[in-house]
Chain A
Amino acid sequence: MLEARGLEKTFGRITATDDVTLKFGREEGELVFIVGPNGAGKTTLVNLLTGLLTPDEGAVVMDGEDITAMSPDERVHAGLARSFQVVRVFEDMTVRENIRTVVLARRKRTRSMFSLADGHEEVEVTVADLIEKFRLEDVTDSVAEELPHGDRKLLDVAMSFGLDPNYLLLDEPTSGVSTREKEYVIETIVEVSRAEGVTTVTIEHDMDIVTEYADRLVALHQGAVHGDGTPEMLETDDELRRLLLGVET
């Protein structure tokens, strides 16, 4: 279980996260979506959970252990991974090298200074497996910088899955992706997280996607939890609809 316990974070006079308490269970393959209008504190929450930011108040607890003071890299090895809103891959590396780096890092093989990087066979098996799952075979040897945007997104997500997480936080994996590719990206994420048994918490703006794939929905507003339940909330909660869609009802 990944828990936020009374998380608070302010920037100057702005309260970005206001007493947020949430639990994400270890039900394997559960897809949680976080929604909320701009400035609702979605990214801040992800940053607090993954250790990019330290909360002013409250604690982050994972599988019973308080990880509030843990560095991001330690959290990764404890089973918590994330992606960023903007694609962050290693731009000068090829797709294969990117994924290889991640798998090597997760298995702490990067400590090895004198073995050959491509000589770790179990690592190579995982790398090939990820490339196949995310259908990146055609671009395996392309440099990340030169990939089309959709592939970059996929690579980014593939890298997060390469960290073999129990909990995966994805910050808008479909942002900037064309409508046509969006479906493809999200389907791949759903497919892989179900298959791997990863609890995936995704920030998403596209309500069609949320309605179609969410097992559970968390809505944030002005830093606080507005609602937590099933996607039906979108139908039933008028205020939420107004906040998200700007629709007066």
Chain B
Amino acid sequence: MSPGLVDRDGETHVRVTSGLVLSKRRFAGLIAGVLFLFAVPDLVRVAQALDISFFQLGVIHRGLVFGFAAVGLNLLLRHTELVSFGHAAFFGTGAYTAAVAAVYLDVTGLLVLLLLATALGTVMAGVIGALSLRHTGLYFALLTLAFGQLLYAIALGQSALGGSDGMPVRPGEANEPLLFGQALGDAYGVVTYYITAVVVLVGLLVMWRIINSPFRYALDAIGQDRTRAEFIGLPVRRYVWTAFVISGVYGGVAGGLFAVFRRYVTPDGTLYFLQSGDILYMAILGGFKTLLGPLVGGVVLIVLEFVGRSVTPYFEFLTGTVLLILVFGFPEGIVGSLGEGGVFRRAVGQTRHGVASLREDPSVAGDWGRRIGRGLRQQIDESLTTLRVVLFGVS
């Protein structure tokens, strides 16, 4: 079956490869996305001319890299319904592997560093996975977090790894990793960005194949009913472990990319559990029921972080509040909410529970605000009653 136009449900669709058939609108979106991805270095120059400070190559690059790790995490989250709170472990292992290989083993090749980072990140995922997968649910989250923090503490305590200062990714004489033996000089930032862009695209394509494969069905089955999954002949633990390792590969690759482009790694920046939290945050922010959501979430969160830090020293408060709003208001995330049946579409286009939509009656926005206010007041009242009961034993 070759690429081309096909007819489906009376509408013209575009067949990209077998199995990937998109509506015209989504196909256009795909093309635009890919073009945008590769145009970022040029757009950055435009943004600079226009004085848009947040649109910097480094910021977008960072967002893509973390978002890529979130894409990996999402395989577990979306299908096996396991929440990993330790994905920084693989990210950090990848990053530190690149740094150690550069500094101690004099590995100069950029791509070799990436390969090593991927390999070690994968091995780490295999080990942590084998230990954590004895449990599910919250216990699993707890274990992954604990193991992640162990790695963080180790990196912090080893002077060979630079302790809390971290270490540079500078192989021997060379100031930076080389691409095919060539120093990149001024072009380093842009070239590494293109490498990341290519890796991200390939990674997404691979993930897209995985989530359309029979393997995905097995993971879904396990996520929805573990016992039943066993009784249809699935060796559950082996499947979950495999999924865990795959998601670790994405983490390791992301960590390697990060080390290579930043040329410096720190425990706080790569291994700390807040980074694990951020990676999970990105998946939720972008929409964990979608393939692209985590990547979008990564870029948005990093941009938000960049803008936030320049505006307020209480940046964590800002991101924490955004996260609360997400959990209560937009659980489907950005991509999920924009899609069909998402909360935005509903709010703008459809009448619901007798409340007019925004398109029909813009004043409804005020009603929304009042409703939220009323709900919050109610909950606070309730909590005060409970407090009274807890403290004085009367209701």
Q: What residues of chain A have their CB less than 8 Å away from a CB belonging to chain B?
A: 50, 52, 71-74, 76-77, 81-82, 84, 88-93, 97, 100-102, 104-106, 108-117, 119-120, 159, 163
Contacts and interface: CB of A to CB of B under 8 A. Distances in A.
Interface of B: 18-19, 209-210, 212-218, 220-221, 224-225, 227-236, 239
Q: 6 shortest A-B CB distances, which residue pairs? A: A76-B233, A110-B218, A88-B228, A113-B215, A116-B19, A90-B224
B217 A97 contact: yes
A90 B80 CA distance: 12
Contacts of A106: 232-233
Contact of A73 (B18, B213, B217, B230): B230
12 contacts: A52-B231, A71-B230, A97-B217, A100-B217, A101-B221, A105-B217, A105-B229, A105-B234, A110-B234, A112-B215, A117-B212, A120-B214
A76 B235 CA distance: 10
Contacts, number: 96
A84 B250 CA distance: 38
Contact of B231 (A72, A97, A113): A72
A163 B228 contact: no
Contact of B232 (A102, A109, A119): A102
B20 to A, nearest CB: 9
Contact of B214 (A72, A91, A112): A112
Nearest to B219: A110
Contacts of A73: 230-236
B215 A90 contact: no
B210 A113 contact: yes
B235 A90 contact: no
Nearest to A159: B232
B52 to A, nearest CB: 41
A163 B217 contact: no
B213 A114 contact: yes
Nearest to B236: A73
Contacts of B216: 117
Q: Dominant SS at the B interface?
A: helix
Contacts of A113: 209-210, 213, 215
Nearest to A93: B220
A77 to B, nearest CB: 5
A163 B232 contact: yes
B219 to A, nearest CB: 9
B217 A115 contact: no
Nearest to A76: B233
Contacts of A89: 225, 228
Nearest to A50: B231
Given A52-B227, A101-B221, A119 B19 contact: yes
A120 B210 CA distance: 15
A225 B233 CA distance: 29
A236 B225 CA distance: 43
A81 B210 CA distance: 28
Contacts of B239: 110
Given A73-B235, A81-B231, A88 B213 contact: no
A88 B227 contact: yes
A77 B234 CA distance: 9
Contacts of B218: 101, 104-105, 110
A114 B208 CA distance: 9
A110 B217 contact: yes
Contact of B220 (A50, A92, A119, A120): A92
B39 to A, nearest CB: 30
Nearest to A100: B217
A112 B213 contact: yes
A115 B216 CA distance: 11
Contacts of B230: 71-73
Nearest to B217: A101
Nearest to B234: A105
Contacts of A163: 232-233
A105 B221 CA distance: 10
B212 A105 contact: no
Contacts of A81: 231
A91 B212 contact: no
Nearest to A83: B231
Contacts of B225: 88-91
B215 A110 contact: yes
Contacts of B224: 90-93
Contacts of B212: 116-117
Nearest to A156: B228
B150 to A, nearest CB: 30
Q: Which of B209, B215, B220, B228 has the most chain A CB within a 10 Å cutoff? A: B228
A104 B217 contact: yes
Contacts of B213: 112-117
Contacts of A72: 230-231
